[in-house]
Amino acid sequence: MGSKRHTIQLSSEDRQITIEHGQTLLEALIAAGVFLRADCGGKRRCGKCMIKIAESSRASVSQADETEAKFLGARQLAARSRLACCTEVLNDTAIEIPETSRLSPEVAQKGPTILFDKLTALKASAAEMIDGYGLAVDLGTTTIAVYLCNLAAAEVTASISVRNPQVLFGDDVMSRIGAVGQNEDLLLRLQKMVVKAIEWGTNSLCRSTRIEPGKIQTMIVVGNTTMIHLFVGTDPTSIGMFPYNPQFVEEQIFEAPKVGFRFNPNTTVRTLPLITGFIGADIVSATLAAKLSHTRPGTMLVDVGTNGEIMFLGKEGLVATSCATGPAFEGAAITYGMHAVSGAIDAVKIDGSNGVTCSVIQKDPARPKKIAGLCGTGVVSAVAELLRSKMILPDGAFNRQTDSKQLLLGDNDTPEYVLAGPGETEGDRTITFTQKDVRAIQLAKGALRTGIDLLCLEAGIERPQKILLAGAFGSYIRKKDALTIGMFPEVSEEDIEVVGNAAGAGAILALFDDHILAQANELRQSTRVLDLASHPNFQEIFIASLEFPKTALS
Interface with ligand FES (CB under 6 A): 38-40, 42, 44-49, 83, 85
Instruction: Compare residues 42 and 504 and give the one whose CB is closer to ligand FES.
Output: 42
Least distance to ligand FES from the beta carbon of 37, Å?
7
Instruction: Compare residues 66 and 413 and give the one whose CB is closer to ligand FES.
Output: 66
Distances in whole angstroms, Cα of residue 368 to Cα of each of 371, 375, 402, 426: 9, 17, 34, 11
Instruction: Compare residues 79 and 544 and give the one whose CB is closer to ligand FES.
Output: 79
Which distant-in-sequence residues (6+ apart) come within 8 Å of 421 by Cβ?
430, 431
Least distance to ligand FES from the beta carbon of 170, Å?
8
Least distance to ligand FES from the beta carbon of 99, Å?
17
Per-residue 3-state assignment (H helix, E strand, C coil) for 515-532: HHHHHHHHHHHHCEECCC
Instruction: Compare residues 43 and 215 and give the one whose CB is closer to ligand FES.
Output: 43
Instruction: Compare residues 95 and 279 and give the one whose CB is closer to ligand FES.
Output: 95
Least distance to ligand FES from the beta carbon of 10, Å?
17
How far apart are alpha carbons 6 and 173 in whole angstroms?
32
Peptide bond into 243 cis (omega under 30): yes
Instruction: Compare residues 199 and 437 and give the one whose CB is closer to ligand FES.
Output: 437
Least distance to ligand FES from the beta carbon of 46, Å?
4
The residue of the chain with the least Cβ separation from ligand FES equals 85
253-260 LR contacts (CB < 8 Å, sep 24+): 256/219, 259/191, 259/195, 259/231, 259/232, 259/233, 260/191, 260/192, 260/195, 260/196, 260/199
Please say whether the beta carbons of 144 and 137 come within 8 A.
yes
Least distance to ligand FES from the beta carbon of 8, Å?
16
How far apart are alpha carbons 522 and 516 in whole angstroms?
10
Please say whether the beta carbons of 451 and 300 come within 8 A.
no
Instruction: Compare residues 39 and 385 and give the one whose CB is closer to ligand FES.
Output: 39
Least distance to ligand FES from the beta carbon of 39, Å?
6
Instruction: Compare residues 45 and 436 and give the one whose CB is closer to ligand FES.
Output: 45
How far apart are alpha carbons 509 and 69 in whole angstroms?
51
Please, what sign has the CA dihedral across residues 285, 290, 292, 293?
positive
Least distance to ligand FES from the beta carbon of 38, Å?
4
How far apart are alpha carbons 92 and 47 in whole angstroms?
24
Q: Which amino acid is at 118?
A: K
